[in-house]
A and B are shown apart, each in its own frame.
Chain A
C-alpha cells in the first residue's frame, strides 16, 4: 500500500495490553497498530501468540487492560454499548461456522438483523440477496445441517455481511476446510472485500492465506514483529508488506 493514498483510518490501536490469570499470561503486551479503511490485513502467528486476542479486541468481544483502541469511530475502551458497535460495524467469520441447526439457512443469515429493527419481510429479502452473493440462494430454505462444510462457511460469510459491516473479522476462516474449499472461501471473502469495499482482517496460521493480504502483521508473545525478518517492531505502527 502506498503511503500517499488518501484513506481514513478505521483501526487505531496504541500500546494495547491484555493479560489473563492475574497477569501471569500476557496475551497482548503493548500492541500498536493502524489499519486503513478498505485494507485487507492478515494477522499471523503461532498458537498462543495473541493473534486471536487481538482480533477479539478489534471486535469488542474482549476488553483491554490498558492502552487505547478506536475502531470505526468507536472508542472501545470507553464505550458501554459494545453490542451496538458489533451489530453495526463488525461482521465475524469464525473457524467453525456456528450456524443454528434448527432454522433455515436464510433464517441464519437473518440473525444479526434482529438488532436493526427490520420487518420479517425485509430481513428475508436482504438475506436472500446475501445468499445470492455467496451462491447459495437455491439453498435458502433448507437446514444448515444439510450443507457441506464449505457451504456452511459461505452461509456464515453471508451472515457476517448482514448488517453492511465496516470490517469483516475472520478467525481462521478456512481452518476446518480442505484446500480446494479453502481457496473458494478465500476467493469469496476477497471478492466481497473488493466489491463491498469492506475492510478485511483475517487471522490465520497459514502463510499461503496470509500472503493474499495487502499487509501481513506477525504477532509473537503479544507483540507485533516484522513478518520478513522477525525483528521486533515495538512502537512502530505500520508494517509494510
Chain B
C-alpha cells in the first residue's frame, strides 16, 4: 500500500466523526460556491442588459441623489429630444431610444416591458423563434421565451399588462435572462404604460465604423454631461457596483467564516484522532518513521477531509442554487459557475486542511515515543 493510500484511508477509521467534519466544512464550501455563482450570474446579466444588442455604449438621464443609482435600469427617464441631438454628435452612427419599465403580471413579479422602434430590433439582437416582429402603431408585443413559459402564452394569445391588452405576435430569445423574462413592444406603447410620453429611459449608441468609441463617449460627456451620463461598463453603474461589492463582501465574510469554523472543526477532529492513536504514533516512531513523515501523514489526512468536503460542498452548492432557480424565488437569477469559483472554494478547502492539520500534527510529532507507547 502506498503512503498516499494510507493517508486517504486513515481519516475514515471513524466514519461518523469524519462525516461530521466534512459536513461542517462542506456547508462553508457550498455557501461559497452558491454565492459565487449568483454573483457571477448577476454581473453577467447586468453586463448583458447594459450592452443589449450591438450598441457600443448606452446613455441615461443623470439624476442627482439616491435615484442616480438606478440609472440604466429604466427607472429614470429623460426627454426624447436627446435622441436626435445625440444622433447628430460627430462619430455617432445611430442613437436608438429605449423605454424600459418593470411591471407585475399574474405569474411574474418582474416583467420587463422594453419599448423600442421595431426597425431597431437588430440592435437588441433578438432572434424571433416563433411568429414575427411587432409593428409600430399597434398593440402588438413579442414575448421572451422565459416570459412566454412563465405566462403560459403562445403566438396568437393576448396578455394583460397594467390593464391593457396586448396581442402576442412573436416569441424571441436574446440570451439575456432579463430581456427573456419580459417583452418588446413599440416605444409609444411602453411610454404610455408608464404615462411617460415623450420620454426615454436609455439611448443605445452605435458609433461609426471608423470612429473611436471612447472619443465619441467623451464628446457626449462634454456636451451633455450635465444632464446625461454615458455607461460603457459595469463600473460606471453605481447601483450594480454597490450590489456586486456587497455580494463580494458577503462572499469574503463567508469565506473567512468558513475558514475559521472549518479550521476549528478540523483541528478538533484531528486532535481527537491523534489522541486516540497515541500508541500507534509511538509504534510509527519506534519502527523508524521520521517526524517529517508523521507530520506529512497527519496534515495529509486533514487535507483529505477538507478536499472531500470541497467536493461534497461544491455539489451541494450547485444543487442549492439550482433549487433556488427552480423555485423561482429569484426570478432574474441566472447562476454562472466559473472555474474561478471552484478554484477559490478548493483553495479555501486546502488552506483549511493545512491550517487545521498543523497543530494536531505538531502535537503528534512532539509526543515522546516512550510516553506514546505507554499511553492508555
Alpha-carbon gap, A92 to B279, bound state (A): 13
**Interface code A72-89, partner B: CB below 8 Å = 1, 0 otherwise?**
000000000001111110
Chain B residues near A96 (CB-CB < 8 A): 279
A39 near B: Cβ within 8 Å? no
Say yes or no: A56 contacts B370, CB within 8 Å.
Answer: yes
Interface residues of chain A: helix, strand, loop or mixed (majority): helix
Say yes or no: A101 contacts B287, CB within 8 Å.
Answer: no
Specify which of B3, B5, B290 lies most central, judged by the most chain A CB atoms within 10 Å of its CB.
Answer: B290
**Interface code B153-190, partner A: CB below 8 Å = 1, 0 otherwise?**
00000000000000000000000000000000000000
Chain A residues near B10 (CB-CB < 8 A): 102
Chain B residues near A110 (CB-CB < 8 A): 1
Which among A86, A90, A100, A123 is the interface contact of B280 at CB below 8 angstroms?
A: A100
A88 nearest CB neighbor, chain B only: B288
Interface size counted on chain A using CB atoms at 8 A: 31
B5 nearest CB neighbor, chain A only: A120
Alpha-carbon gap, A62 to B5, bound state (A): 31
B122 near A: Cβ within 8 Å? no
Say yes or no: B288 contacts A107, CB within 8 Å.
Answer: no
Residues 1 to 58 of chain B near chain A (Cβ within 8 Å): 1-3, 5-6, 9-10, 12-13
B291 near A: Cβ within 8 Å? yes
Q: Kindly specify which of A2-10, A111-119, A217-225 makes contact with the partner chain.
A: A111-119
- Interchain nearest-CB distance for B365 vs A (Å): 11
- CB-CB under 8 A for A84 and B13, given A61-B370, A98-B280, A120-B1: no
- CB-CB under 8 A for A112 and B1, given A98-B282, A100-B280, A102-B13: no
Chain B residues near A61 (CB-CB < 8 A): 285-286, 369-370, 373
Alpha-carbon gap, A114 to B1, bound state (A): 10
**Interface code A57-71, partner B: CB below 8 Å = 1, 0 otherwise?**
001011000000000
Which among B9, B288, B373 is the interface contact of A84 at CB below 8 angstroms?
A: B288
Say yes or no: A83 contacts B289, CB within 8 Å.
Answer: yes
- Interchain nearest-CB distance for A103 vs B (Å): 6
Alpha-carbon gap, A84 to B287, bound state (A): 9
Count of inter-chain pairs, beta carbons less than 8 A:
75
Chain B residues near A163 (CB-CB < 8 A): 287-288
- Interchain nearest-CB distance for A216 vs B (Å): 24
- CB-CB under 8 A for A120 and B288, given A61-B369, A102-B10: no
Say yes or no: A112 contacts B282, CB within 8 Å.
Answer: no
Which among A62, A86, A102 is the interface contact of B9 at CB below 8 angstroms?
A: A102
Chain A residues near B192 (CB-CB < 8 A): none
Say yes or no: A112 contacts B370, CB within 8 Å.
Answer: no
- CB-CB under 8 A for A114 and B3, given A102-B9, A102-B12: yes
- Interchain nearest-CB distance for A170 vs B (Å): 12
Which among B283, B290, B369, B370 is the interface contact of A115 at CB below 8 angstroms?
A: B290
A107 nearest CB neighbor, chain B only: B1
B3 nearest CB neighbor, chain A only: A114
Chain A residues near B9 (CB-CB < 8 A): 102-103
B363 near A: Cβ within 8 Å? no
Alpha-carbon gap, A170 to B307, bound state (A): 41
Q: Which 10 A-B pairs have the closest CB atoms?
A: A87-B288, A112-B287, A102-B13, A86-B288, A115-B288, A98-B283, A61-B369, A107-B1, A92-B286, A83-B290
Identify 12 residue pairs between A and B in the complex whose beta-carbon atoms are under 8 Å apart, listed by A's number: A83-B289, A86-B285, A92-B283, A92-B287, A102-B10, A102-B12, A107-B1, A107-B6, A115-B293, A120-B1, A120-B5, A162-B287
Hey, which bits of chain B sit against chain A, CB under 8 A?
A: 1-3, 5-6, 9-10, 12-13, 279-280, 282-291, 293, 368-370, 373
Other 11 A-B pairs with CB < 8 A, given A84-B288, A94-B373, A96-B279: A62-B370, A84-B290, A86-B286, A86-B288, A92-B287, A98-B280, A98-B282, A101-B13, A103-B9, A114-B6, A115-B290
